[in-house]
Amino acid sequence: MPAKPAWFLRLPEILETVHALRTPVLDRTMFERLFEVRRRRAIQLMHCFGGYQTGRTFLIDRLHLITELERARISSDYGFEVRRKQRLAESLATLERHRTATRVTIPVKALPHPSLPADVRLEPGRLVLDFSSPEDLLSKLFLLAQKMADDFEGMCRTLRPSAIEDPGEAAPST
């Protein structure tokens, strides 16, 4: 069978429709509508699934078609295609989220003075940051990163607990 076309991922839907039909055979026109393919492709597929020609009409036994479609649906090819489509959809969703994030404009300004704004408070083991929007949050986080880059040692002193034990003091023994 040729490369997996769009109808391949619609196997469950196609199977449901074929099960609902009450005719013993399907002709080429019904097959075209069911698989959403054109005449030539319908004839090719009907041959692949065990169809036959009577006079000038192509037919396929409905029960035989159900058996062949069930076999295709439980095949590893079908599982692979479903997983491939899921991975593609997830990749596209990730790309769309990334594209949305890249459209956000973050106002960035150089630090006018060595201290952080009043709504950014750093304490040992704690960061308190007030913001009004996602863009404002990102802007303040950028300012914080800028401050860390400009005065790393000073920021480290600010962030370390002030009550550091003197290594010369021995711990009481019990």
Cα separation, 42 vs 33, in Å, equals 9
Work out the percent of the chain whose per-residue pLDDT is above 70: 84
Residue 108: C-alpha distances to residues 33, 37, 137, 148 (Å): 57, 55, 11, 15
CATH number at 6-77 = 1.10.10
* Residue ranges in 27-162 assigned as alpha helix (H): 28-35, 39-48, 62-73, 76-102, 134-150, 152-159
Cα separation, 95 vs 103, in Å, equals 12
- 8 A C-beta contact, residue 65 and residue 52: no
Does the pLDDT at position 1 exceed 50?
no
pLDDT in tens, 30-44: 999 999 999 999 999
Model confidence at 25, pLDDT cuts 50, 70, 90, reads very high
Cα separation, 128 vs 78, in Å, equals 52
- 8 A C-beta contact, residue 29 and residue 36: no
> What average pLDDT does range 101-120 have in this prediction?
71
Q: Where are the domains of the chain?
A: 6-77, 104-161
pLDDT for 160: 80
pLDDT for 26: 94
> What average pLDDT does range 67-75 have in this prediction?
88
Half-sphere exposure of 20 (CA within 13 A, CB side): 7
Does the pLDDT at position 148 exceed 80?
yes
pLDDT for 4: 64
pLDDT for 14: 93
- Is the pLDDT higher at 138 or at 162? 138
Residue with tokens 């619609």: 10
Model confidence at 109, pLDDT cuts 50, 70, 90, reads low
pLDDT for 165: 46
Cα separation, 156 vs 116, in Å, equals 14
Mean pLDDT (the chain) is 82
